[in-house]
Chain A
Amino acid sequence: MAKIIAGVGSSHVPAIGAALDNGKTEEPYWKRVFSGFEKSKEWMARTNPDVAIVVYNDHASAFSVDLIPTFALGCAAEFPPADEGWGPRPVPVVKGHPALAAHIAQSVILDEFDLTVVNKMEVDHGLTVAMSLLFGQPKDEWPCRVIPLAVNVVMYPPPTGHRCYMLGKAIRKAVESYPEDLNVVIFGTGGLSHQISGPRAGLINSKWDKAFLDNLSKDPKKLMRIPHIEYMREAGAEGIEMVMWLIMRGALDDKVEEVYRFYTVPASNTAVGHIILENRGKPVRKRTSAGRSRQAAAHSAVHRIAR
């Protein structure tokens, strides 16, 4: 049986990708940002998931205003990095998991989440920046398969926080009914507070962000009830994309272990937030002995970081 073992929340600021790709990680401004992800990369290497479901939004790359799907699930075998106007990011092609993705699509649609199936799609910084932050910059291939879930947060209204949270639950149910033994990590990306449009651009609300992270960890049902107007007022017009983190949270246990958190302001125009939440159940035990020892190592690693 496949199992969701952890959730990762991470900003996906495009300038972070540019800093990585242009070798600026040692500059003090960027070092402040990247230093917050060092432990996370170690955690990810030890956790070593088979599949990552990455909830993100497209920024006028794969979708223009011709088609605006609220939830679009990537079911393709691969997703090339998009050219966002300055050439595609020099990162590996993202390899999908079409069989699990098709299974999820079928399961959640029958659970009344009418998502769009996408069999051809390029992925932009919304997905690849969070991948880089957690997996580093591998040359040839990413260390796991990826199922992109693109959420419309560009045109108002995005799906409600409640809808996102419930979709997370449906995704979990789908994953857990997949017969193959797979360890799955789910990402919620975007945010935290930022406004990048209009005369109020530059808005940051650290107090609100920190409360969001606290509740995400301990009391996510509170977040589910936040109306869109509050996101926009308090966290900025574009901060509303934080609803995507609730899909990740909905896919986890009600009670989770917060094993890591990082917050800094700014990266370019945005507050950077990052959290790692673990389900308390044990990861899937693989049938091979190599798999078992790998999982055992991952599990003890978790305790080290959680200590």
Chain B
Amino acid sequence: MARKPQDYDDIPGTFVFDAERSRQGYGINMFCMSLMKEENRRAFKANEAEYLKKFQLSDAQRDAILKRDYNRMLELGGNIYFTAKLGATDGHSFQHLAATMTGSSQDDYAAMMLAGGRSVEGNRSKSVKDKPAAKKKAKPKSGSTAKRK
């Protein structure tokens, strides 16, 4: 059955882990959860395809795990807090994983974060030309990081 369209599908570059994906991705997430144990990490690394047989996974899900296609895992119901455990099993830092999902090198990604992160401008919506949030907010206070009143 095709996924029911949701308002948040319009957010670019984002796979919202909703109840439907939670159902669909149960096998991916429980596989990732199993990697919290050292003996399981070892068994997985020794024979990945064999280890994955213990979990209910579609061919596409299995393929995404074996290829470490993190965006595809999210699309098929994986959740980032779970798939991060697979990244850690591979010995990668979280920032490495984040960089991979954005298609940039870890250095470029880290530099982007240090420079203030990815701007929301141009990244709000797939369908609408960028515009600020619907409601006007109180004027943000300026400048310095810490203040005591």
Q: Which residues of A contact B (CB under 8 A)?
A: 14-15, 32, 35-36, 39, 59-60, 64-66, 68, 83-86, 154-157, 193, 195-208, 210-211, 214-215, 218-219, 222, 226, 228-230, 232-234, 237-238, 258-266, 268-269, 271, 305-307
Contact = CB atoms under 8 A, between A and B. Distances in A.
B134 interface: yes
B87 to A, nearest CB: 10
Interface stretch (B46-54, B57-65, B119-127): B119-127
A39 to B, nearest CB: 6
A156 B102 contact: no
A211 B138 contact: yes
A214 B85 contact: no
B149 A306 contact: yes
Given A85-B88, A154-B81, A214-B141, A196 B98 contact: yes
A210 B104 CA distance: 28
A200 B11 contact: yes
Nearest to B12: A200
B11 A39 contact: no
B70 to A, nearest CB: 8
Contact of A262 (B22, B36, B88, B146): B146
A65 B81 CA distance: 11
Given A85-B36, A155-B22, A156-B17, A268 B94 contact: yes
11 contacts: A66-B30, A68-B22, A85-B88, A195-B14, A199-B12, A202-B109, A202-B118, A214-B139, A215-B137, A237-B14, A269-B94
B8 A203 contact: no
Contacts of B79: 60, 65, 154-155
A12 to B, nearest CB: 13
Contacts of A156: 8, 16-19
Contacts of A193: 117
Contacts of B102: 199-202
B147 interface: yes
Interface string B85-100: 1001000001100100
A36 B144 CA distance: 11
Given A154-B17, A197-B101, A259-B148, A234 B133 contact: yes
Contact of A232 (B8, B32, B147): B8
A200 B17 contact: no
A229 B8 contact: yes
A200 B14 contact: yes
Contact of A198 (B14, B139, B147): B14
B74 A197 contact: yes
A157 B149 CA distance: 36
Contacts of A271: 117
B144 to A, nearest CB: 9
